[in-house]
Every structure is written in C-alpha cells, then in structure tokens.
Structure 1
Amino acid sequence: MFKKILVPVDGSRLSHAAGEFAADLARQHGAQVIGVYVIDPFPYIGIGDASAVGLQAYLAEAKAAATQALEDLRQACAQRGVPFAGDTIERNVVYEGILETCDTEGCDLIVMASHGRKGVQALILGSVAQKVLTHAKVPVLVVKPAAT
C-alpha cells in the first residue's frame, strides 16, 4: 500500500520511536523510508566577525545533530532490512520543509512524533505535527508519547 514513508526527525527520544514505528511499517509494506531533518536558519543576523563565527558554530552544531538523528533512523531501517535515504534541509518554517520534502520525494505517508504539549506550552511553541496534519496532502500517522 505505501511505497515511500517520510519520517521527519529531530533527534529526540520521541522521534526515535516514530522512526522505529515507520521502519516496522515500511518492512510490512515493502516501502522505503525517507528521513528528513529540517534546520532552522541562524536566528540572528548581525554585523561583523562575531555573527559570522556564531553562524558557523550554529550550522556546525545543527548539522552534527542532523547527521546523528538521520544515522539513528538509518540504523533502525538497516536492522529491519528497509531501504533508507535521508537529507538535511534548511527552511524558515519547519513544517513547510517537511511538506516540501514529501512532495519532492513522492512520499505517500508521513510518520512523525508528537511531543504531546498541552495548554499554554502548545499555544506558545506551536505544533509542527499539527501544522503538518493540517496542510499535508498525504496521510499523516502521528506517534504519540507513551503515558507516564
């Protein structure tokens, strides 16, 4: 039924759980997993050498986190014998980067984690999962955090 499953990752424990779920689902359907890590652009544009150093440090750390998160997903897929491809992209709006990747890669399902924020925290931080659910043209499977 599914051929390409997009899995947005952020390096969190919840993202890892969603990746494992997606890899299991991909194995059952004979599908490929496409991983994506969306880097927010450097949040400050300043003048002088300090901003250039800050930008380089920010990008180096963000790319290292992306590499680790995608490697984690790659290993989950490899353990299950599932084909995997991953990419790191930079976008101003994370959910738009996820949806753009879905369209570009021809994915027919998005599997992602929800951090389960509630109340004021959800209102202030927003929800990437909610925005993906609202705007996606393909089915979205949201992996919720386990009850504690």
Structure 2
Amino acid sequence: MLQINDQLRIPLEEFEWSYSRSGGPGGQNVNKVASKATLRWNFYASPSIPGPLRPRLQMKLANLLTTEGDLVLTSQLYRDQPRNREDCLTKFANILRRALIVEKPRKATKPTKGSVRRRLTDKKIQAARKKTRSEKSFED
C-alpha cells in the first residue's frame, strides 16, 4: 500500500511496471541491464480515489494524464532497478500530495490612498520630465 495522506492510499497492484535500458553512468553494464523503471497508473480506472477527491485530482493532473487517463512516470537516476522503482513511487506520491493541496482563494484588495497618491504624483513628475525634453527653442 502506498500511503499518500490520511485520506488516500493506493495499493501497489494498481501500478503497471515496465523496465528498459537506461542511459547515464554504469559503463558496459548499461547495455546489459534493464534498470530504467517506468510506472503507469490509470487514474480513471482506479477504485482507490474517494469520490470527493476525484474532481480536484482530475483537474490538477489534467496536464500529466495521457488520453487514456494514464499517469506515466520514469526514473533512470540510479544504476539499479529497485532504487529507480522507489524513485518512481516517491515522485508519484509527491505529485499527488501537491495536487491534493487546497489553495486559499485570493481576496481582492483595494490600493491604499497613500499608494494611489504616490502613483499619481510620480506620473505627474514623469510627464513633466518628458515635456521638458520635447520643448524646442526657436530663438534665431
């Protein structure tokens, strides 16, 4: 069981794993061993997501899901398969934790009277400065 938070747990049986050869360090071993881990998890088919969390997750994960609804993560950071597999699970948990955070709604505020006054005086000063630049003298 992968514990995301106190509301969400995902059984490891829902993940599909595939392995392939990875690039990076490892010398000749890289050409022989399939150490790159690819995690595939189908969001739409997952029974583990509670009803109230599903719409929020769907909205937040929309850019990461394939057209079939799969979330695909890869890791080739390490030279061995089990550590890359753990890295994929860590990435997955972090993505879901970030997606579950409820953002506070922004409250619209008015500018203070002092800031409005300062802005307008700065505009007048800038306008006067530009006006003096463009004044031409026709004394011949």
The alignment's TM-score, normalised by the length of structure 1, stands at 0.21
Q: Which has the greater radius of gyration?
A: 2
Which has the bigger relative contact order, CA under 8 A and spacing at least 6? 1
Greater helix share, structure number? 1
